[in-house]
């Protein structure tokens, strides 16, 4: 698997923290997703090899937890809170605005490759909803107008090659 040397080093280090190798499954998956942006299809076999497990054991974990992505994402990942406090102040409209701006469905890469938009549960900023994250950056009180501004900013960013 095509991981950065520092990720490979972290992986080998993390495994030593656990008396049983299999306990390192979740941390390894997080490290791989952080590096690549999602879990490519060879992940299960690669992690199973590392931890002396069967690929099915890893597959059960990657498919159980919603935070693991099994498909590539757009250049930016937009995560919109769909939990009650945000939903009550318009989180769904915010999300719909973004979907229209980028002409995309949830959990897909937009046609221009700019974004993937997904719903997530509470982002721990319930008093300032609707809340969303663009990659690691939190945006608060994102009504439809602000969602449009955020979309315009993303569209104006230079595309990485
Ligand atoms: S409900 Fe949206 S941040 Fe908590």
Q: Which ligand 1 atom is the nearest neighbour of the CA of 83?
A: 1
Q: What are the residue ranges of CATH 1.10.10 in the chain?
A: 5-64
| Predicted TM-score of the model (pTM) | 0.79
| Domain 5-64: CATH class, spelled out | mainly alpha
Mean pLDDT, residues 64-71: 87
Q: What does the pLDDT read at residue 92?
A: 97
Between CA 11 and CA 26 the distance in angstroms is 11
Residue 161, pLDDT > 70, answer no
Helix axes 144-156, 91-102, angle to 10 degrees: 30
CATH 3.40.30.10 applies to domain 76-156: yes
Q: What are the residue ranges of CATH 3.40.30.10 in the chain?
A: 76-156
Q: Which residues, judged by CB distance below 6 Å to any ligand atom, belong to the binding site of ligand 1? A: 81, 83-86, 122-126, 129, 131
> Could you read off the pLDDT of 98-152 as tens digits, one per residue?
999 999 999 999 999 999 999 999 999 999 999 999 998 999 999 999 999 999 9
């Amino acid at each position: 698997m095509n991981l950065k040397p520092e990720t490979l080093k972290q992986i080998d280090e993390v495994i030593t923290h656990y008396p049983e190798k299999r306990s390192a499954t979740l941390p390894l998956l997080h490290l791989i997703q952080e590096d690549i942006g999602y879990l490519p299809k060879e992940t299960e076999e690669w992690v199973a090899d590392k931890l002396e497990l069967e690929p099915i054991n890893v597959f059960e974990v990657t498919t159980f937890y919603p935070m693991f992505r099994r498909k590539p994402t757009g250049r930016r990942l937009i995560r919109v809170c769909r939990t009650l406090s945000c939903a009550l102040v318009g989180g769904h409209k915010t999300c719909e605005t973004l979907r229209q701006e980028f002409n995309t469905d949830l959990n897909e890469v937009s046609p221009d490759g700019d974004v993937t938009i997904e719903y997530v549960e509470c982002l721990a900023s319930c008093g300032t909803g609707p809340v969303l994250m663009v990659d690691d950056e939190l945006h608060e009180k994102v009504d439809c107008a602000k969602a449009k501004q955020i979309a315009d900013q993303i569209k104006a960013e230079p595309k990485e090659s």
